[in-house]
Amino acid sequence: MLAAVFLGHPLCEAQVGLQPRAIYVDFATFASDSAGYSSFRIYYQIYSSQLLYARQRGNFVARYSVSAVIKKGKKQITSSEVDGILKEESYEATTGQRDFVINGFSYLLPPGKYQVTITLRDLNADNSVPLTAEVTIPDYQAKPPLFSSLLFARKIVSESAIADDDPLSAEYISSIFAIDTLRVLPSCSRIFGDDNNRLMIYAEYYDPTAVSESVRFCYEIKDPKGSLVFSQTTDIPWVSGRPLIQEFDLAHFKPGPYELIVTAIDPKERRIAGTSGRFRVSWSALALVKNDFEGALEQLRYIAAPAEIESLKKVAENDRAKAWNDFWKSKDPSPGTEENEIRDEYYRRVAYANEHYSLPGKEGWRTDAGMVYITYGEPDEIERHPFDIESKPYELWYYYNPRRTFLFVDINGYGEYVLQYPYDGDIQKLRNGGGR
C-alpha cells in the first residue's frame, strides 16, 4: 500500500499510520508577467524504496506515473501526467530509504480557489494513491505589498554555480526548479533534522511602491503552543520582486512541528505584509541529547532493557551523543546500510502517538494507547464503542500476528482510554516504565 501526504496548504492526508510514505507533495505560488494570472507550481518527492521493483534483464525496475488534475468547482481546468522508470542493479539498492525523485508541474492560473488532485500510480504493483487538496491562488496584482508563498528548499544555487559533478545536477536541469536565474530544489516533505538540519527558504516580496532603499524582514519560528523559539530581523537592499533567501540552523530544535513566519516591517516599525509555512523537525539524536537527555531516555522504555537505560544514564555529558548512537546501532537490523529501520520506525510510532493520543498535560507516547501502539504498531482492526448506553466509551484493538486483543476504557469521560487487559508480564512492565 502506498502512502502519501500533502504539505503547504490546507491538507488532505490520504492515509494515516506508520507505513513509510511513498510521496510528499508541496505547492508554491508566485506572481507572473501574464496579466490576470499567477504562477502555480506543484512539487512532488517520490521515495523509490516504496515502489515495487520487478526483475528485468538482470536489473530491478520500478515503473510509476504521477498525474495532476486541477478543477474549479466541477469543471476541470487542466491536467498533466508523467511516467517514470527507476532502474537498480541490485535488490539492496532498491531499499534505500533516502533515495528519492523530485519533480513537478507548473501552471499559469487566474487567482481563485481550486481543487487539486495528485495521483501516484505504482504500475508494477497496480495500485495508486490519489490525494486531493483545496488550494487558494492569490492575486499578486492586487494592492501591494504582498509575499509569494514560502518555498522550503533542500538547496538553492545560481545557474552558473551548478557543477557538472554535482550529484543533484540532473535534477536542476528540469525547468520546474528554475526561478529567474536560480535553481531551487524543494523539500517537499518539509521534514528536517537528523542528517538535514539546515532549513532553507525561498520567497518573493512584491512592493513596487516602496520608497526605502532597504526593507526590513522579521523571521519568527513558533512551536505548536505558539511560543516564540526563534526571532531574527534583517535589513536587505531592495528591488521589488527580488528573491528572499534565508537559511536556519535547526540542530538544537526539539523534534516536532513548527511554523515559520516572515513579515515585512516599514520604517515606522509596522508589520505591513507577511507569509508563513509549517515544517517539522524529525527525530534527531543531537537535538534529543542536547535538549532533554533524561526525557530521551524515558522515551526508550518500550524498546530498551532497564540495564541499557541505566548504563546510558551514567554516560558523561560529552559522550552522550556517541553512547546514544551506539545504543541504536546495537538495534540496527542492517548495520551495513545508512538506514536504521528499527530506530526510524520507533520514532515514527512515537510521533504518531503524540499526534493522536496526547492529552492536556500528558504526551501521547506516555498514554496506554500510545504504549500499545509504539510496542505493537498499527492495529489490524479497531472496534470503537463511544456511545453505548450501558457502558463507558471503550475500544478494542485487534492484532492478528501476534494474536492479541487490547481493551481500552474511557473511565473518567475525559478522553483518556485506559488499558484494561491483558496484564501479562511484558505489557505490564512497559506500563510501569520497566523496559522490555
pLDDT at 149: 94
CA distances for 370 relative to 345, 346, 357, angstroms: 14, 12, 6
Q: Which residue has the cell 492495529?
A: 379
Question: Is CATH 2.60.40 what the domain over 1-27+40-135 is classified as, yes or no?
Answer: yes
Architecture of domain 143-282: Sandwich (2.60)
pLDDT at 96: 64
| Contacts for 74 with CB less than 8 Å, ≥ 6 apart | none
What does the DSSP assignment read for 91-119?
TGGGG-TT-EEEEEEEEEE-SEEEEEEEE
Q: Compare 209 and 160 and report the one with higher pLDDT.
A: 209
pLDDT at 6: 45
CB 84 within 8 Å of CB 58: no
Tally Cβ neighbours within 10 Å of residue 6: 24
CB 436 within 8 Å of CB 302: yes
pLDDT tens, 46-96? 988 888 999 988 899 999 999 999 999 999 999 999 999 999 888 777 766
User: What is the pLDDT of the chain when averaged over all its residues?
Assistant: 84
Residue 164 has pLDDT above 60, yes or no: no
- Say whether 143-282 and 1-27+40-135 share the same fold: yes
pLDDT tens, 210-238? 767 788 999 999 998 899 999 999 998 87
Confidence tier at 193 by pLDDT (50, 70, 90):
confident
pLDDT at 251: 77
Q: Compare 195 and 85 and report the one with higher pLDDT.
A: 85
Calculate mean pLDDT across residues 424-435: 56
CA distance 26 to 188: 5
Residue 414 has pLDDT above 90, yes or no: no
Calculate mean pLDDT across residues 99-117: 94
Q: Is 333 helix (H, G, I), strand (E, B) or coil?
A: coil
Q: What's the whole-model pTM score?
A: 0.69
* Residue (of 312, 287, 285, 317) closest to 298 by Cα position: 312
pLDDT at 334: 74
CB 14 within 8 Å of CB 129: yes
Q: Is 417 helix (H, G, I), strand (E, B) or coil?
A: strand
pLDDT tens, 5-35? 444 432 222 222 223 468 899 999 999 999 9
Q: What percent of the chain shows pLDDT beyond 90? A: 45
Give how far the C-alpha of residue 69 lies from the chain's centroid of Cα atoms, to the nearest Å: 23
First-to-final CA distance of the chain: 30
pLDDT tens, 240-288? 667 899 999 987 787 788 999 999 998 888 999 999 999 988 766 567 7
CA distance 51 to 63: 8
CB 26 within 8 Å of CB 43: yes
pLDDT at 337: 66
pLDDT at 236: 87
Q: Tally DSSP H helices, then E strands, for the chain.
A: 8, 24
What residues does each domain of the chain span? 1-27+40-135, 143-282, 290-431
CA distances for 52 relative to 16, 83, 404, 421, angstroms: 21, 15, 30, 39
- What single-letter DSSP state applies at residue 152? E
What does the DSSP assignment read for 263-311?
EEE-TTS-EEEEEEEEEEE---HHHHHHH-HHHHHHTTTTTS-HHHHHH
State the sign of the Cα–Cα–Cα–Cα dihedral 269, 275, 281, 286.
negative
pLDDT at 402: 80
Give how far the C-alpha of residue 390 lies from the chain's centroid of Cα atoms, to the nearest Å: 42
